């Protein structure tokens, strides 16, 4: 969804990267604006994606990358058997709870990135068929990856929301700010 990303302070690469990730997060968060839990959980296409499922997936994805960078265990680590649950709300999970969880992860990500000595610092990638053997990536790469991953799913969220009620990015930005569009 289209928004203006505020300029960082001159030379503040970390702040710029965090701002761009946050702009993409905001697009996905806005996609559920004014929807019921049922509407946000609906899947209006052949895809298995829903808006509430995208919220949960992105929150858990960001936590997973944060824990890898921190080199700490992920308290919400998924297995092959539970992978599908990362794309849907289960049991008593609600959108407000998922949004609050993601807000906490986002805050922790920003604090962590602010604290690392250098964006050139690296962390190892786990063994997986999709990662290079003995691979490592930098904190800079991590932030670019978050922009890529959240941005990809923000596009999915755009399409899903427009399929539900016709509201597009500009409509939702205006609604969020209490204005009208068009």
Q: Which domain holds residue 122?
A: 13-176
Residue 147 lies in a domain: yes
- Rounded to 5 degrees, φ, ψ at 138 are -90, 165
Query: Could you report the per-residue pLDDT of 88-119, keeping only the tens digit for each?
Result: 999 999 999 999 999 999 999 999 999 999 99
Residues 6+ apart with CB under 8 A from 48: 87
pLDDT band at 2 (very low <50, low <70, confident <90, very high): low
CA distance 41 to 48: 10
Mean pLDDT along residues 122-140: 94
Question: Considering the domain boundaries, does residue 49 fall inside one?
Answer: yes
Give residue-wise pLDDT tens across range 9-64.
777 899 999 999 999 999 999 999 999 999 999 999 899 999 999 999 999 999 99
The mean per-residue pLDDT over the stretch 59-83 comes to 95
* Confidence (pLDDT) at 182: 67
Q: What is the CATH number of the domain that holds 51?
A: 1.20.120.450
Band of residue 1 on the pLDDT scale cut at 50, 70, 90: very low
Task: At 136, give phi and psi (nearest 5°).
Answer: -145, 150
Nearest partner of 24 among 139, 123, 109, 121, judged by Cα: 109
What per-residue confidence (pLDDT) applies to 162?
Answer: 95
DSSP string, 59-111: HHHHHHHHHHHHT---TT---TTTGGGGGS--TT--HHHHHHHHHHHHHHHHH
Q: What is the mean pLDDT of residues 114-135?
A: 95
Instruction: Report if residue 2 sits inside a domain.
Output: no
Structural domain total, the chain: 1
Tell me, yes or no, whether 42 lies in a domain: yes
CA-nearest of 63, 58, 44 to 95 is: 58
Alpha carbons 45 and 49: distance in angstroms, whole number: 8
Distance in angstroms (rounded) separating the CA atoms of residues 170 and 182: 9
- Residue 155 confidence (pLDDT): 95
Asked if the structure places residue 28 within a domain, the reply is: yes
* Side-chain-side CA neighbours of residue 56 (13 Å): 22
Q: Considering the domain boundaries, does residue 1 fall inside one?
A: no
Predicted pLDDT of residue 11:
77
135-181 pLDDT per residue, tens: 999 999 999 999 999 999 999 999 999 999 999 988 999 999 888 77
Please indicate, yes or no, if residue 7 is contained in any of the structural domains: no
């Amino acid at each position: 969804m289209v928004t203006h990303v505020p300029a960082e302070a001159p030379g503040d690469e970390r702040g710029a990267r965090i701002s761009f990730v946050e702009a993409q997060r905001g697009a996905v968060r806005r996609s559920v604006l004014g929807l019921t839990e049922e509407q946000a959980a609906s899947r209006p296409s052949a895809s298995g994606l829903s808006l509430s499922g995208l919220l949960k997936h992105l929150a858990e994805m960001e936590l997973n990358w944060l824990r890898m960078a921190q080199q700490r265990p992920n308290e919400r680590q998924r297995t092959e058997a539970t992978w599908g649950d990362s794309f849907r709300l289960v049991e008593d999970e609600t959108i407000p709870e998922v949004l609050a969880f993601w807000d906490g992860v986002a805050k922790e990500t920003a604090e962590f990135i602010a604290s690392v000595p250098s964006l050139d610092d690296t962390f190892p990638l786990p063994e997986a068929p999709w990662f290079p053997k003995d691979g490592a990536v930098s904190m800079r790469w991590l932030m670019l990856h978050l922009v890529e991953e959240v941005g990809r799913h923000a596009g999915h969220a755009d399409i899903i929301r427009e399929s539900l009620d016709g509201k597009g990015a500009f409509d939702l930005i205006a609604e969020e700010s209490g204005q009208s569009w068009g």
